[in-house]
Amino acid sequence: MTAETGKFTGMSIKQRIKDLICNLIYYKVIPGLSKREVPYSLNCLDESIVCFELRDVQAGVFSKYSTEYLNEQKFLDACITVKNGLPPSAKKVFREDMRLRYYTSCKFAKIASSLEGCFVSIGVSFGVTSRLILEYTSSKKEYWLVDGWDGYDPHRSKVMKTHTAHDAYCSNINDAKEIFSGYDKVRIVQGFAPEALHGIEAEKISFLHLDTTDPKCEAASIEFLWDRIVPGGIIVIDTFNLGRGYVEEYSPLFKKLGCSDGVIGTAHGQGIIVKR
């Protein structure tokens, strides 16, 4: 299923049914359960301690552990700024249930901000994650943004300008330029990766964020930019382990680059690589 359209591509009827059931559970059943207060007690030295109550589901993760860190004031302030900066028709693009992914991206970008090299995001749309990173890190680094911004994906050879796409995907580059108009270090490259990556003039990269939901595109992009990523540089793949062979798509590349044992998969779907 593509993030831009919400439609299924190249899947069997059996797989579509499975996905529909999974979506029903993820979007309806689990959020309904998470609104109930479920006390969690930790038995420590024979004393029962009520730690907190489950109230939230983040990026598909329903955890017994606290997510209080998502209430960090600096992160909350960045979220408010980004939500307020979205066009009225795109307010729902900011996903409250994706705050864990947003937070993880911001934290790793903050670490990378101390390294030499620019930031790069591939798959930007309305720029929610990119703007959160800019606001959270207060980085003065050059930030390259790569996206098609026209609703057409040549690799899938189909037009994606559906009603859903208009709501969830920024298909007008002028809207993107307006959203990022207040950031003088942002560089916009319109086109599809990896071909469009020739437009990135920076020689060194400290942070690379990928969110295209296309593992072949992302693997090719990582390979294209690998030599520019500085030692200690961080790669965040937003939809690394969503299933149906996503991880396998990256395996040959990671083996080739010699970083197979250095990829950190997360329970909320992201994959993290720290270049050694």
- What is the model's pLDDT at position 55? 59
Go through the domains of the chain in sequence order and give each one's CATH number. Answer: 71-274 (3.40.50.150)
Express as a percent the part of the chain with pLDDT over 90.
50
- At residue 246, does pLDDT exceed 90? no
- At residue 4, does pLDDT exceed 70? no
**Mean pLDDT on 43-65:** 62
Q: What is the pLDDT of residues 228-237, one digit of tens each?
A: 999 999 999 9
Q: Compute the distance between CA of residue 260 and CA of residue 250 in angstroms, rounded to an integer.
A: 9
- Tell me the range of 92-96, 163-167, 196-200, 248-252 where mean pLDDT is highest: 196-200
Contact between 106 and 72 under an 8 Å Cβ cutoff? The reply is: no
Q: Compute the distance between CA of residue 147 and CA of residue 253 in angstroms, rounded to an integer.
A: 22
pLDDT band for 104, please (50, 70, 90 cuts).
very high
Sequential DSSP letters for the chain: --TTT----S--HHHHHHHHHHHHIIIIIHHHHHTS-EEEEEEETTEEEEEEEE---BTTB--SS--GGGG-HHHHHHHHHHHHTS-GGGGGGS-GGGHHHHHHHHHHHHHHTTSSSEEEEES-TT-HHHHHHHHHH---S-EEEEE--SSEETTTTEE--SHHHHHHS---HHHHHHHTTT-TTEEEEES-TTGGGGG---S-EEEEEE--S-HHHHHHHHHHHGGGEEEEEEEEETTTT-STTHHHHHHHHHHHHT-GGGEEE-TTS-EEEE--
Contact between 246 and 235 under an 8 Å Cβ cutoff? The reply is: no
What is the sign, positive or negative, of the torsion defined by CA atoms of 192, 194, 199, 203? positive
Q: Residue 244 carries which side chain, given as an amino acid letter?
A: R
Candidate from 61-65, 89-93, 111-115, 162-166 with smallest mean pLDDT: 162-166
**Mean pLDDT on 160-178:** 70
Kind of pairing between the strands at 143-147 and 47-54: unpaired
pLDDT band for 253, please (50, 70, 90 cuts).
very high
